[in-house]
Amino acid sequence: ARKRLLKLKKTPAVTKDGTPITLLANIELPDDCPAALEAGANGVGLFRSEFLFMGRSASGLGNALRVPGEDEQFEQYRKAVVAMKGRPVTIRTLDVGADKPLDPTEHTALNPALGLRAIRYCLAEPQLFLTQLRAILRASAFGKVRILIPMLAHAFEIDQTLSMIEQAKLQLREEGIKYDPGVEVGAMIEIPAAALALPMFVKRMHFLSIGTNDLIQYTLAIDRVDYEVAHLYNPLHPAVLGLIASTIATGQKAGLDVAVCGEMAGDTKLTRLLLGMGLREFSMHPAQLLSVKQEILNSDLATITSRTRRILRSIEPNEIATAVEQLQSL
């Protein structure tokens, strides 16, 4: 079966009725790029840049924290961009803080998932954020780079982020350092408030990427890493499906690319449901990519879309689960 899948590497991801689908890879480090290419990815949809910052020893520096400097980050981003040979690389800015502290000696919040993490942390540490933005922009001179911002919920966070990107560009310009002035900026939609107030994002952003891992966590108030409530973590909850479907529809209507980059995108049991919601861009672990492509090649959008509309109107969990299963046997 694996051999049959590998043959699909160069086959374009197109539904039976001829609709092209973009399949992107989630990576943690530039070294993951060969695996992404091996799976036939159209680009990187999520480069989790925090992996460049985590697990770094502070030994020899007393208590000083060793975070990668601008040059070191630039080298890593450039490495990924070059490795992807012209395909787009979507670099997510630092998604740390709280449960993933840069400095483990710092105090731990009682509700870390609701605390100073991701973009909140970056805006509270503008020097660190500016350094990362400069490094990403410098890498954009070597290929197509997109900047993805995690955990946005407020308009002022978007505006502050965009103005920091402008500040980084201005600095580089003044220093005569090259970057792509047309670099696109997108938002992770992973807080329910963001999905519910989507026009606020659509107005300010070039593209959207739905982080279903956190969106499910925050919508259902289920800690995604707490095994005691793992049985309540349900991607098919009608509230979750409603938020995902409306984000896709509203974003696309405004002409923005909308991707899903959470685990749902790599789950073949959900491929047709997402296609039926109108999703045309999936980003996942490279190991899932060919199986998802196979599912796409066998999918007929017209049937799936009308079935999915019915699923989205349902409020009965058992009915939804059964109907999603039936999508697979179409």
Give Cα separations from 281 to 127, 266, 278, 284, 304 (angstroms).
Answer: 33, 11, 9, 10, 16
The Cα 130–Cα 45 span in angstroms is 22
Residue 281 found at the interface with ligand PEP (CB under 6 A): no
Partner in contact with 262, chosen from ligand PEP, Mg ion, none, beta carbon below 5 to 8 Å by kind: ligand PEP
CB closer to Mg ion out of 50 and 214: 214
- Counting contacts by CB under 6 A, is residue 267 touching ligand PEP? no
Beta carbon of residue 116, minimum distance to ligand PEP (angstroms, whole number): 15
Residue 261 found at the interface with ligand PEP (CB under 6 A): yes
Total number of residues that touch ligand PEP (CB under 6 A) = 10
Per CB under 6 A, 101 contacts ligand PEP: no
CB-based contacts of 85: which residues, under 8 Å, 6+ apart?
A: 37, 143
The single-letter code of the amino acid at 274 is L
The 195-224 contact track toward Mg ion, x by CB under 5 A, reads: ----------------x--x----------
DSSP string covering 186-254 = EEEE-SHHHHHTHHHHHTT-SEEEE-HHHHHHHHHT--TT-GGGGGG--TT-HHHHHHHHHHHHHHHHT
By C-alpha distance, which of 287, 262, 156 is closest to 212? 262
- C-beta of 173: minimal distance to ligand PEP in Å? 32
Q: Give the binding range for ligand PEP (CB under 6 A) out of 83-91, 108-116, 125-133, 207-215.
A: 207-215
Q: Which residues bind Mg ion (CB under 5 A)?
A: 190, 211, 214
Q: Which residues bind ligand PEP (CB under 6 A)?
A: 46, 48, 95, 190, 211-214, 261-262
